[in-house]
Structure 1
Amino acid sequence: MQVQIALQGNCSPLAGLCYIYSPVYMFAEIIIPLALPKNYTWEVPAAFAEKLQVGCRVEVNLGKNKKYAGVVKRLHNEAPSAFDPKEILSILDEAPVVQPWQLQFWSWLADYYMCSEGEVMAAALPAHFKLSSETVIIFNEEYGDDFSNLDNEEYLVAEALHIKHELNITEVQQILDASHVYPVVNKLIGKKVCFVWEALKQTYTPKKESFVVLNPEYSNEAKLSDLLNNWSRAPKQMELLLSYLHLMRTEGEVIKASLLKKSGATDVQLKGLVEKDILRVEKRHIDRLHYLPKDVTIDFQFSAAQQEAYEGVKKGLEQKNVCLLHGVTSSGKTHIYIKLMEEYIRLGKQVLYMLPEIALTSQIIRRLQKHFGGYIGIYHSKFSQNERVEIWNKVKSGEMKIVLGARSSLFLPFQNLGFILCDEEHDSSYKQQDPAPRYNGRDAAIYMASLLQAKVLLGSATPSLESYHNAKADKYGLVELMERYGEVHMPAIEMVDTRMVARQDGGKVMISPQLLEGIKETVARGKQAILFQNRRGYTPYQVCATCGWIAQCKHCDVSLTFHKYSNKLKCHYCGNIYPPAHTCGACGSDKLLQKNFGTEKIEEVLDKELADARIGRMDLDTVRNKNAHDVLIQQFEQKKLDVLVGTQMVVKGLDFENVDLVGILDADGLLHFAEFRVNERAFQLMEQVSGRAGRRDSNGRVMIQTSNPTHPVLQFVAHHDYTGMYAEEIEKRRMFGYPPYTRIIKVTFRHKERDVVTEAAHRFAEALHFSYGSYMVGPAEPVINRVRNMYLMELLLKLPRDGHTINRCKEDIQKHTAVLHAEKRFRNVLVIPDVDAI
């Protein structure tokens, strides 16, 4: 390797040699957003050696002509022995966009959750930071300008190239008014009219707005008065100027569009004032998101129980890095969160407030904005990519002090994070399913806090068994708040035995007479009711009364749900839509029965039974756009709706003071899953939705419809007995070897052919059996064994909580995946490990 000699420090030659060898060529380990098993290495050109920093983005070439924006993870002088590295093409950032602690966090996520750092990068960075690889066509100057041998389409593109010199594929599509342009481009390349270059395109563009400002000369009151008093012509311009002066005094800054709208003037009249050098128009960068003034306002007093819990949390966080606040529904946990957040803000620290589904929590957003104003920033998937870049930059600069976000907010570049609050920590939405990284936001937050010496508070009325077990084992601090705010009692639970209810078609009871009477009585008193059913649509499946045929998705092994409003059958797994079935697909009979019921059907029945009541529905079908959920919540808050029917969305993060009745329509449906967490999840859902009742001046009622009222979980719900449920479930987990006593890794196999995926799963299991046979369950088909035309098999590993065994198993899974893929028959079998699967 070539070297140069560089003098370090101010050493005198008499003191001895103070020269060191510094390589001319360095190398960079770079993460690119691909699922590569390990990071690739590129060579750093001498011209970049002093500029390049860890955390900067660079443009690199992989393969023949594909370009990527990668992030530099490490700079070193270790030349790869297996290949000749290519050179980095360009540096995209003057300063790092990713901080060292973030790279360490990415590395841990990739290692723990068995994915690549490229997959973590793809999830972590806003799309605009990843750039896009776009095909650019360059005109070949040597071809000349004689296009007589080209056909019409080729001629149009060649002529445009001759004028502009380069075009991207989108522009070619516009020229030809067609989407399929590659054959034309290929012909032009073959005739040497042009050649192709893969370019990386920066996709983020700052938003600009035109502001109107007064010539500083007229900031002198006397000169301005003289101008106005001696105005003789152009009355429209005078009106425009007066409108400007009014807006400037009332709003401080004047946007061109607002000025023209207020004054009713035109661009021509504004241009006249600009030409007279009275007004000037300036282009400025502005935020896409509007923020309130920054202010901290704490306008509530703690109850005695809240004060005790608050002091307990502070003490717990002094002694431990993580504390669990177990507070019953409506106990005022949010007040404690707000007070703690205020403390960290006043210390100059940043705070991350995590919620399982940010789009469903408009209420908490409004509450926090009331207390913290513009200190609050929100980060979630419904923001545009440009908006996400702006939030990213505000967090990085430290300007944004509080971030309210879903699990993806963990990837923001915090400068001075002091406190992470993980609300509703039990919620399964914290666990990412597809694609990788399949991380748990709660667990990842705890690790991230350890990197930044921050504290973590977990909050829930129904903590996960794992978190409560860690608190009981003294791994976390534990504070319990067991009384509701304002001395309101927990709601009374009534079981409605559906076996005692007459049924017309032998199907499930939708709304029992007892519940219907309760709803009518509640609405008559001016109170509100919430009905919970964890199925959307009209009917979950249709069955032929003659032969038993059920309409199924062509691509998945599931029944189709009928949606009456859109008059379509929908698959809730792959999203495919089918026309409604009027006759049996097997025997042709027209006797199709609608079995079970979803939120859409419940809404229809209530509309008939409660003619004067105002009914609302909250499910995935009614809250698809950015603000639909917030609009519905505000309607219910403002008492414009009497009854709200919904899925799990009505459970999460909602606080309604006028709700007196909650109905759980199908408790049995929550208890009949073949899954080891079924009892825990059912208890959490029912207890959470029950907690929406009686939150202010009344105790509230909860009516649970079930055919098995003596079920142990229902008895725990009836007495709001979390500790009883925990004691029973934790003992079962210990007996059968499930978390928190073990670590689970679920390996899923996918392939379009059933026999191939079955054989691959068994071959894989045989390879692991010698070392892990006693920990393995399966392989077996899951309940839904085909999704999107891919057949599935699953293998479950229940590993002891021993770091050495777990790490060795992860390595063996990766090794045997490579061995499996080496065989041609299994090359296309997807092997997907899911660590801490739920």
Structure 2
Amino acid sequence: MPKFARVLPDMSLDKTFDYKIPAGMDLRLGCRVRIPFGRTERTGYVVDLVDKSDFPENRLKAIAVNEGHLIPEKMMQLGQWIADYYCTGMIQSVRNMLPAPVRKDKVKEKTQKLLSFAEGIQPPSLVPELEKKYPPRAAVVKALLGLKEAPQALLMKVANVSASPIKSLLKAGILEEEVRHVERDPFGDEEVIISKPLELTDEQTDAFKLITNEMDEEKPATVVLYGITGSGKTEVYLQAIAEALSRGKQAIVLVPEISLTPQTVHRFRSRFGKQVSVLHSGLSEGERYDQWKLISRGETQIVVGARSALFAPFHNPGIIVVDEEHEPSYKQDSHPRYNARDIAVMRGIMDKCPVVLGSATPSFETMNNANQGKYKMAKLTQRPSTAVVPSIKLVDMRTEAAATGSNQIFSRELIESVKQQLHDRMQTILFLNRRGYSTHLTCEKCQYTSKCGDCSTSHTYHRKSNVLICHLCGDIKEPPTKCPDCGHKDLSFSGLGTEKIERLCRGVFPNARIARMDSDTMTRKDSHKTMLGDFQQGKYDILIGTQMIAKGLHFPRVTLVGVVFADAGLNMADFRAAERTFQLLAQVSGRSGRGDDAGRVLIQTYNPTHPALQCALEGDFDAFYEDEKMGREVMKFPPFSKMVLIHFRGPEEGPLASLASDFSQHLSKACTKDDRLMPAVPSPIEKVRGQYRYQLTIFSDNIRRLVRVLNWLRLNYKAPKEYKIIIDVDPQSLM
């Protein structure tokens, strides 16, 4: 038995300390412990067990309390890999693995008082006498005969009585009350009808066999499930997971957006019942605490959720599924800045289980890994049964403007198509990946534009609340009645957002039932679930939304999707702009025609000849990939090299520019022929929340060596106190 434990205190120090292990204390990697630290006690995590310490034994203190094994040993190893690769502290990596309620351990257990018949009571024999003398008490007894046990509120409702007869029965010893622990289940109230596995197509069968065969391998491969939208990827997931469960293992299923969780959970619970848990940041603290505890105790075998579900404390996962693996939302934008897709692959290697990366439009990184033979690939090219791929049409808004004499937001064809949908009592989705009403408030005379004082970006106008909002820092102000610069009163609202689309729709389609789904409207707990459920049930004719409605959702009565302005993403200063645009168009197009009726997609654009739009028109990802790949290879952009983006933040621009330049000089000394170091430049958005921003980009063919250098600089390069240096390995955006 090791004599010493290396403990990482839960504090920003990010340094380990050696402690003696008391006799009889069963410690493993991942245990949470209480340790003496200075004059107080701290919580820490065991990261190593050793026979020898670098310090004299008589100087070492003993661990005070072992609070239990919270993190599986392999997960601790994964945490160290995350810290090393993403250039962050180990304590940040460990904290990221535990939901805050579990780490702080301050959540109270939920309890419920349940009423039942006292032992020895024969309820049926009591009914006749009670009906004569005390009818309300008889009603309680008869109700409880059917319920067996129930909380008081439910018993009162079923028996249609007040609390008085229940209290009388308790006092008489006929009923008894017991306090029980209750698990908080975010989807516990939903009615679930158990479904049976569907018959697989030949392509689905081949994909299923490829995945399950990997379960028998000593070193299972990552499998790319490359299938068009509506091709039945989820059914393949379900049957592969069933196979993993039959082998006594568990499953992790990742989805890119919290909004996808309700539909995914419903689909999985209809197949696996209460074996399915949920983990994501949208749950209440109590729900996250209880769901994590259920998983930790082995009482559920499947977890569905966003990024954080990847760290579910399963000890024996048999499969990990990353649905819509191409989505940039899998990349965390705070420390540790990990990509859940890549960490899923690494966890699969450590746990020796296959990882399935599913997508209709795989990321270029995933396609490159498949082409190089690092990943295996299965393709689904057809929709099952009678479903057909929707027809797609590009609407040239230049022609529309010429015909109508002005730039229009809705083309004539889109308006007529929506009207036909309403007549046929079918549903429509209108997509615009920009929230708000207008993106600019501008003076017609001097061209003044309302900008946030703390950020180098324009305010967005929100008409419903009549405010200007900065979407970067949250600054809110009332719109001026005249120009602050020249005093002119002619102020115009330009640009386009989902709120404006909603208002225009209500004018053009006055009898339509219209809903809007974006981050401005989805602010309450369960708002995603409620909105999607209402649309599914046909309570709305038109759903307007941003990217949260573009992915993975299944609405059989949606037969028209309108993309209001397809060009927005193409204008971003990012080498991934075309890739993101194609992926988003493919995903939102896939929401149409998923039932028995044929679907249509209308994509409005001022740039119809762009390769991304032309390939989206044909639904040809392979052609788009080959075209885009050539430019990336020439420029040696990812995936043909690795990229690191180093951010600099500070209150003054001059000193910040000097800091970025000085750091660049230090880094250049460690660069080799494998690296391309770009000059430090102002970020595309130069100021956010009063902080100036610079950035430094480096491309490398040897990322392992580069992250070692960056980790050394992270620990040894000292920036002034008010300034920050943030290292982002494998960034998903240059913004």
Aligned residue runs from structure 1 range 330-479, under 5 A? 330-434=230-334, 436-479=335-378
> What is residue 167 of structure 1 aligned with on the other side?
none
C-alpha contact 1:247 1:253 (8 A) present in aligned 2: no
Paired amino acid for 1:779: A
> What is residue 30 of structure 1 aligned with on the other side?
7
C-alpha contact 2:649 2:691 (8 A) present in aligned 1: yes
Paired amino acid for 2:34: E
1:213 aligns with 2:116: yes
Structure 1 pair 115/506, CA: closer, same or farther in 2 (3 Å)?
Answer: farther
Q: Deviations over 1:669-717 (max 9, x none)?
A: 1101111111111100011111112223344222222111111111111
Gaps of 5+ in 1: 1-21, 132-201
> What is residue 205 of structure 2 aligned with on the other side?
307
Aligned residue runs from structure 1 range 740-819, under 5 A? 740-772=639-671, 774-800=675-701, 802=702, 806-819=703-716
C-alpha contact 1:115 1:437 (8 A) present in aligned 2: yes
> What is residue 91 of structure 1 aligned with on the other side?
65
Which TM-score applies when normalising by structure 2?
Answer: 0.92
1:649 aligns with 2:561: no
1:56 aligns with 2:31: yes
1:491 aligns with 2:390: yes
The alpha carbon displacement at 1:564 in A equals: 0.9
The alpha carbon displacement at 1:422 in A equals: 0.9
- Provide the C-alpha distance between the structure 2 equivalents of 1:85 and 1:608, rounded to a whole number of angstroms: 78
C-alpha contact 2:237 2:321 (8 A) present in aligned 1: yes
- Provide the C-alpha distance between the structure 1 equivalents of 2:480 and 2:354, rounded to a whole number of angstroms: 55
Aligned residue runs from structure 1 range 104-143, under 5 A? 104-131=77-104
- Provide the C-alpha distance between the structure 2 equivalents of 1:795 and 1:374, rounded to a whole number of angstroms: 49
Paired amino acid for 1:50: M
C-alpha contact 2:292 2:312 (8 A) present in aligned 1: yes
Q: Aligned pair count?
A: 726
Structure 1 pair 384/634, CA: closer, same or farther in 2 (3 Å)?
Answer: closer
Which TM-score applies when normalising by structure 1?
Answer: 0.81
- Provide the C-alpha distance between the structure 1 equivalents of 2:726 and 2:464, rounded to a whole number of angstroms: 37
> What is residue 688 of structure 1 aligned with on the other side?
587
- Provide the C-alpha distance between the structure 2 equivalents of 1:75 and 1:796, rounded to a whole number of angstroms: 39
Paired amino acid for 2:679: G
Structure 1 pair 597/778, CA: closer, same or farther in 2 (3 Å)?
Answer: same
- Aligned residue for 2:121, secondary structure, equals helix
- Provide the C-alpha distance between the structure 2 equivalents of 1:280 and 1:662, rounded to a whole number of angstroms: 58
Q: Deviations over 1:323-349 (max 9, x none)?
A: 111111111212211221222222222
Percent identity of paired positions between Structure 1 and Structure 2? 33
Flag the structure with larger Rg: 1
1:75 aligns with 2:68: no
Structure 1 pair 312/229, CA: closer, same or farther in 2 (3 Å)?
Answer: closer
C-alpha contact 1:294 1:375 (8 A) present in aligned 2: no
Structure 1 pair 267/830, CA: closer, same or farther in 2 (3 Å)?
Answer: same
- Provide the C-alpha distance between the structure 2 equivalents of 1:55 and 1:330, rounded to a whole number of angstroms: 41
- Aligned residue for 1:216, secondary structure, equals coil
The alpha carbon displacement at 1:430 in A equals: 0.7
1:674 aligns with 2:573: yes
Greater shift in the superposed pair: 556-565 or 301-310: 301-310
Structure 1 pair 309/97, CA: closer, same or farther in 2 (3 Å)?
Answer: closer
- Provide the C-alpha distance between the structure 1 equivalents of 2:715 and 2:210, rounded to a whole number of angstroms: 51
RMSD: 2.8
The alpha carbon displacement at 1:86 in A equals: 7.2
- Aligned residue for 1:218, secondary structure, equals coil
1:832 aligns with 2:731: no
Which of 430, 434, 455 pairs up with 1:531? 430
- Provide the C-alpha distance between the structure 2 equivalents of 1:465 and 1:542, rounded to a whole number of angstroms: 38
- Provide the C-alpha distance between the structure 2 equivalents of 1:700 and 1:819, rounded to a whole number of angstroms: 58
Structure 1 pair 504/561, CA: closer, same or farther in 2 (3 Å)?
Answer: farther
C-alpha contact 1:41 1:80 (8 A) present in aligned 2: no
Q: Deviations over 1:356-383 (max 9, x none)?
A: 1133332222222222221221111111
- Aligned residue for 1:419, secondary structure, equals strand
C-alpha contact 1:503 1:509 (8 A) present in aligned 2: no
Paired amino acid for 1:70: G
1:256 aligns with 2:256: no
Paired amino acid for 1:69: T
Q: Deviations over 1:501-529 (max 9, x none)?
A: 33899986411222222222232222222
C-alpha contact 1:35 1:117 (8 A) present in aligned 2: no
The alpha carbon displacement at 1:620 in A equals: 0.9
Structure 1 pair 120/246, CA: closer, same or farther in 2 (3 Å)?
Answer: farther
Paired amino acid for 1:561: T
- Aligned residue for 1:28, secondary structure, equals strand
- Aligned residue for 2:684, secondary structure, equals coil
The alpha carbon displacement at 1:613 in A equals: 1.7
C-alpha contact 1:43 1:87 (8 A) present in aligned 2: yes
Structure 1 pair 817/313, CA: closer, same or farther in 2 (3 Å)?
Answer: closer
Paired amino acid for 2:35: V
1:43 aligns with 2:19: yes
Paired amino acid for 2:579: E
